[in-house]
Amino acid sequence: MDNDYTNQIRSFGAMGYSSERIADLLKLKGKERAVLIVRLSIPEDEYYQAYKNGHAIGEWNIDAELAKQAERGDIDAIAALGERSKKRRINDLKKDLFGI
C-alpha cells in the first residue's frame, strides 16, 4: 500500500467501523482492499494499532459523556454506563480466560 491511512483508520476505529467498511470508505479495491483488511487483523501492524487506539478513544468518549449525564442524575445514563461497564468486564474475562 502506497498511502498512509493511519489517521483515517484511527478515526474510523473510534466509530467502531468494520474493516470492510473502512476499506469501502477509503475507496479501496482489489489487492489494496484485501491487504488493508488483513493488516487490520494483525496485532503487530501499525494499522491494527491505530484501529484499536481509535476504538478505545471512541469507547472512552461514550463513557465520559454517559458519566457526565449520570452525575446530573440521568437514570438512563446511569443504567447505560453500568451495562457498558459490565459488558467490558465480561469481555475482558473472556479474553483472559479463553483468548476471545
Look at residue 41 in the predicted model and tell me its pLDDT. 96
| Residue 5 in this model has a pLDDT that exceeds 90 | yes
Q: Are 22 and 36 in contact (CB under 8 A)?
A: yes
Per-residue pLDDT reduced to its tens digit, 41-84? 999 999 999 999 999 999 999 999 999 999 999 999 999 999 99
The ranges assigned to domains in the chain are 6-98
| Residue 2 in this model has a pLDDT that exceeds 90 | no
**Cell numbers representing residue 29 in the block:** 479495491
Cα of first residue to Cα of last residue in the chain, in angstroms, is 29
Confidence of residue 3 (pLDDT cuts 50, 70, 90): confident
